[in-house]
Amino acid sequence: MKTVINNYIREEMFPNMWCPGCGNGIVLGAIIRAIDDLSWDKDKIVAVSGIGCSSRITGYVDFCTMNTTHGRALPFATGIKMANPDLKVIVVMGDGDCSAIGGNHFIHAARRNIDLTAIIINNMIYGMTGGQYSPLTPTGKYGSTAPYGNIDQSFDLVELAIAAGASYVARGTVYNPRQSTSLIKNALDKKGFSVVEIISDCPVSYGKMNKMKSPADMLKWIKDITVSKKVWEGFSPDEKKGKYAIGEFLSKDRPDYTELYEEIIKKAQERGGNK
Amino acid sequence: MNNLEKKKNIKLLQGNEACAEGALLAGVRFFAGYPITPSSEIAENMAFKLPKIGGKFIQMEDEIASMAAVIGASIAGLKSLTATSGPGMCLKQENLGFAIINEIPCVVVNAQRGGPSTGLPTKPSQGDMMQARWGTHGDHPIIALAPSTVNEILTLTIKAFNLSEKYRIPVILLLDEVIAHMREKVEIPAPEDIEVINRKKPTVPPEEYLPFKPDEDGVPPMANFGEGYRYHITGLIHDHKGLPTSNSQEIDAFIRRLHNKIQKSIKDIIIYQKYSLDDANIALIAYGSVARAAERTVKLAREEGLKVGLLKLLTIWPFCFEEVNKLAQQVDLIIVPEMNLGQMVLEVERAAQGKCRVVPYGRVDGELINPIEILGKIREEIRK
């Protein structure tokens, strides 16, 4: 059966390399539906990713695509967007990719408020390399490098993105694909740096090591640990422990970096600068 | 007005300024960098001049990001430059490999300072010659050029961009702190007198475009992102479509092609200059700021009746194997003065194949090698 998805994928790349039950396909579907809703020209879309299971998304979509180095997708995307601001640049990262090795790039892309859409598929683990703990693995959970439980405190990407200066920040889950599609659509449509974290499942690594053997177990778990932003706001600090708020957290209008640089060009051409 | 009547545009420029000037003449429109001594003036010049011509400058959060941004901008169609020194060059290696495997044109300047590590930020060195060749992992080709005067910095920066665009490979421009910071008279050529080479574009419609299928010269035509050619770029070994492959025949052919596209055109890439070599029985082989001293040594030695000549290397990588091999058959002794404890001398030895004596002369105290000490080394070796 052909669906809207078929208009946007490289069919020769399928079947994909993801494990059965992986949430990446749900996110891929959400991204494609969001783009289709916006009726964007495929020739003007660039999708950039780093390294990891989630980053393989760029190989499956029929845009200009780039599977770059680990953690560096955002600076590559920054160069593309600066060089040609007419391009719509989407960056897909995993949790380790974005928040560990790429953490500094993430906060600086947000600080610059450059017009990119960052989609972080957060399965709370390094899936491709065999289930090592990431900066988004919850404290106390297990990983192949945390055989006695993770003692690290995890990042809250939503708070990090807001503090660093992003224009749009949201969180969805693979249990709520319709909501995730609409959050991604809003993010794509927003000028400036937009961040959407999608909580996802890795039954093979995370699930196996944390007593959730089937994909369905993991999806139920994701349902249990997430609450709407509104409910979250009424929670006591104790109730918030181990839970994630989902929804839209920030949407503000601020000039993006490429617009500001156009002003620099004007200034340089009119006045000659301070040299 | 003919060429003779044309007023020459002569300026007193610092090496780093000349690099910026050359890049602009070559058509650079994007710079991403991170401050580091002794290269920062290149970034400062770019920040000032690029927006005047509609180009873009960005100071990134580190050198890893700078290299990534430069590659991104190049894929989106702008000729791109970054500049750094040793510690930053280490950080650039990761994405330099990405540019090599995806054949993305760009120019990377390394104004060498003493190392290892923080080393000697304000003193010259030629300690990164082998890093330029093998700094990023994997079996890869590279082009590296090393000017020895401020004027050469300008002309070789243009050359670096041209080679990079023509062969779709990052080109490293190796300066050292001395020539990066010294000021010299530079003749700035008129734009119409400069050869500027741009990457070749696909001539087929998008549905027929294979982004990594080479032409006869080994170089695939390059479509910029946004021009209607939708394709994939990956740091994984890829097939003609740009999609990852694990087919051993395709892998082998791909890696060999990356090397062969440079080997095939080696005569176009390798540049050197000869001084007083015709009748020489002793040769100096030098590059960068040391070549200036070596040139002077040749004059001093000739005044003493010693038949000394100089082979000045402007292209460092690929190495001018054939020329050095020929030279080794002509002379009895080759001395290689360099500001390290023997890097390019290893290549010279390999190329000489035992046909003459090859002797290193190294200095690593942060001071420039001077003509008298090279002359001293010649006298010492003659006595042996």
Q: What is the mean pLDDT of residues A169-181?
A: 98
Q: Does A239 have pLDDT greater than 60?
A: yes
Percent of chain A residues topping a pLDDT of 70: 99
Q: Which pLDDT value is given to residue B3?
A: 56
| Residue among B11, B366, B225, B46 nearest A81 (CA) | B225
B359: containing domain: 274-383
The B residues from 41 to 60 touching A (CB cutoff 8 Å) are 48, 51-52, 54, 56, 58, 60
Q: Does B4 have pLDDT greater than 80?
A: no
Has residue A144 been placed in a domain? yes
Has residue A3 been placed in a domain? no
CATH number assigned to the domain comprising residue A210? 3.40.50.970
In this structure, the answer to whether residues B26 and B146 fall within a common structural domain is yes
Give the number of beta-carbon pairs within 8 Å between A and B: 145
Best residue in A82, A112, A114 for a mutation probing chain B (most B CBs within 10 Å): A82
pLDDT band at A1 (very low <50, low <70, confident <90, very high): confident
Does residue B65 sit at the A interface (CB-CB below 8 Å)? yes
Q: How far is B240 from B247, CA to CA, in rounded Å?
A: 12
Q: What is the mean pLDDT of residues B322-350?
A: 98
Q: Which pLDDT value is given to residue A274?
A: 56
In this structure, the answer to whether residues B280 and B187 fall within a common structural domain is no
- Choose among A13, A72, A82: nearest Cβ to B56: A82
In this structure, the answer to whether residues B297 and B155 fall within a common structural domain is no
**Secondary element (H or E) of residue B260:** helix B248-263
In the Cβ-directed half-sphere of B281, how many Cα atoms lie within 13 Å?
6
Domain stop point among B139, B169, B193:
B193
Nearest CA in chain A to B77: A83
pLDDT tens by residue, B138-163? 999 999 999 999 999 999 999 999 99
Q: Which pLDDT value is given to residue A153?
A: 96
Does residue A265 sit at the B interface (CB-CB below 8 Å)? yes
Has residue B96 been placed in a domain? yes
pLDDT tens by residue, A36-79? 999 999 999 999 999 999 999 999 999 999 999 999 999 999 99
Has residue A73 been placed in a domain? yes
CA distance A142 to chain B (A): 30
Q: Which pLDDT value is given to residue B306?
A: 98
Number of structural domains (chain A) is 1
In this structure, the answer to whether residues B294 and B188 fall within a common structural domain is no
User: SS3 for B79?
Assistant: strand
Q: Average pLDDT, whole number, for chain B?
A: 97
**Secondary element (H or E) of residue A169:** strand A168-173
Q: Are B51 and A62 inside 8 Å of each other by CB?
A: no
In this structure, the answer to whether residues B184 and B284 fall within a common structural domain is no
Peptide bond into A15 cis (omega under 30): yes
Q: Does B223 have pLDDT greater than 90?
A: yes
Q: What is the mean pLDDT of residues A21-28?
A: 97
pLDDT tens by residue, A120-164? 999 999 999 999 999 999 999 999 999 999 999 999 999 999 999
Best residue in B45, B48, B56 for a mutation probing chain A (most A CBs within 10 Å): B56
Has residue A91 been placed in a domain? yes
Has residue A7 been placed in a domain? no
Has residue B232 been placed in a domain? no
Q: What is the mean pLDDT of residues B298-306?
A: 98
Strand partners, B272: B313
pLDDT tens by residue, B166-219? 999 999 999 999 999 999 999 999 999 999 999 999 999 999 999 999 999 999
Does residue B95 sit at the A interface (CB-CB below 8 Å)? yes
In this structure, the answer to whether residues B155 and B285 fall within a common structural domain is no
Q: Which pLDDT value is given to residue B128?
A: 98
Domain stop point among B172, B193, B214:
B193
Q: Are B230 and A64 inside 8 Å of each other by CB?
A: yes
Q: Are B76 and A261 inside 8 Å of each other by CB?
A: no
- Give the position of tokens 């001071």: B367
Q: Which pLDDT value is given to residue A271?
A: 80
What is the per-residue burial (b if ≥16 Cβ within 10 Å, else e) of B236-265? Answer: bbbbbbbbbbeeeeeeebbbebbeebbebb
Number of structural domains (chain B) is 2
CATH number assigned to the domain comprising residue B114? 3.40.50.970
User: By the 8 A CB rule, do B333 and B301 touch?
Assistant: no
Has residue B105 been placed in a domain? yes
Has residue B378 been placed in a domain? yes
Contacts of B375 (CB under 8 A, 6+ apart): B297, B300, B301
Q: Does B1 have pLDDT greater than 90?
A: no
Q: Which pLDDT value is given to residue A2?
A: 87
Does residue B30 sit at the A interface (CB-CB below 8 Å)? yes
Has residue B220 been placed in a domain? no
- CA distance readout (Å), B3 to A37, B7, B192: 60, 8, 11
A34: containing domain: 17-271
The A residues from 17 to 36 touching B (CB cutoff 8 Å) are none
In this structure, the answer to whether residues B31 and B172 fall within a common structural domain is yes
Strand partners, A81: none
Q: What is the mean pLDDT of residues B90-96?
A: 98
pLDDT tens by residue, B242-297? 999 999 999 999 999 999 999 999 999 999 999 999 999 999 999 999 999 999 99
Q: How far is B275 from B295, CA to CA, in rounded Å?
A: 7
pLDDT band at B5 (very low <50, low <70, confident <90, very high): low
CATH number assigned to the domain comprising residue B348? 3.40.50.920
Which residues in chain B have Cβ-Cβ distances shorter than 8 Å to A264?
51
**Secondary element (H or E) of residue B94:** helix B86-101
pLDDT band at A272 (very low <50, low <70, confident <90, very high): low
Q: What is the mean pLDDT of residues B124-140?
A: 98
Q: Which pLDDT value is given to residue A127?
A: 95
Domain stop point among B193, B211, B239:
B193
- CA distance readout (Å), B219 to B77, B101, B261: 17, 12, 6
Has residue B339 been placed in a domain? yes
Nearest CA in chain B to A274: B48
Q: Does A273 have pLDDT greater than 80?
A: no
Q: What is the dihedral of CA A121, A122, A123, A125, to 10 degrees?
A: 120
Peptide bond into B211 cis (omega under 30): no
Complex confidence, ipTM? 0.97
Q: What is the mean pLDDT of residues B97-109?
A: 98
Q: How far is A264 from B366, CA to CA, in rounded Å?
A: 40
Has residue A9 been placed in a domain? no
Has residue A105 been placed in a domain? yes
CA distance A234 to chain B (A): 38
Q: Are B71 and A87 inside 8 Å of each other by CB?
A: no
Has residue B243 been placed in a domain? no
Strand B9-14 and strand B183-188: the pairing is antiparallel
- Choose among A68, A104, A272: nearest Cβ to B235: A68
Q: Which pLDDT value is given to residue B339?
A: 98
